[in-house]
Amino acid sequence: MRIFRGPRDGGQALVEFALVIPVFLLLLFGIIDLGRYVYTANGLNQAAREAARIGSVSLRPECAGNRDSCIRQVARSRVPGIVGTITFPAAANGEAVTAGRYGCFRLGSGGGTPTNVGVDSCRSGDLLRVRLENQFSLATPLIAQFIGNLTIGGEALVTVNQ
């Protein structure tokens, strides 16, 4: 005895699935890439804040060495799970704090914009800017072709208290 099951539409479902699955996967992996980007940005900002906090005081029991090496050591140890190299774009001597680079900045005798004096020359009242950067590459090939690699930065600006 044969039971009537209606028209066969197995082929139609397969075609619909084949049309929808690429869009679904692109959306899914795009969301995963967005999550990785946000995680990396938050990690770099948190590491910059902690490194700036350590660099702004004279007692640094967490690491040995000068202020610059201690800041770099703390920043690199606070970014677990971030792929790639963390760089510190350093300010040139005399560069202004508004350039947004890693360095210690001091007000001149007449005031004005603080200029870089070198991280190891920091003293009380100076501004310490810690900037970390990382090259972020997307895992989704189709999206990566259009966007390419992105530079993510995290930074903190604190007053040195020795």
Predicted confidence (pLDDT) per residue in 102-137, tens digit: 999 998 777 778 889 888 888 899 999 999 999 999
Q: What is the pLDDT of residue 2?
A: 64
**Cα dihedral sign, 124-100-118-55:** positive
State the chain's mean pLDDT as an integer: 88
Q: What is the pLDDT of residue 35?
A: 94
Counting residues of the chain whose pLDDT is more than 90, the rounded percentage is 48
Is the CB of residue 97 less than 8 Å from the CB of residue 113?
yes
Output the pTM of the full model: 0.83
Record the tokens describing residue 65, joined without a space.
Answer: 């060495």
Predicted confidence (pLDDT) per residue in 47-104, tens digit: 999 999 999 988 777 787 888 899 999 998 888 888 888 999 998 888 888 888 999 9
DSSP at 4: P
Q: What is the pLDDT of residue 3?
A: 67
Distance CA 88, CA 131 (A): 6
Residue among 77, 53, 67, 78 nearest 119 (CA): 67
Q: What is the pLDDT of residue 8?
A: 65
Three-class SS of 85-105: CEECCECCCCCEHHHCCEEEE
Per-residue pLDDT at 14 exceeds 80: yes
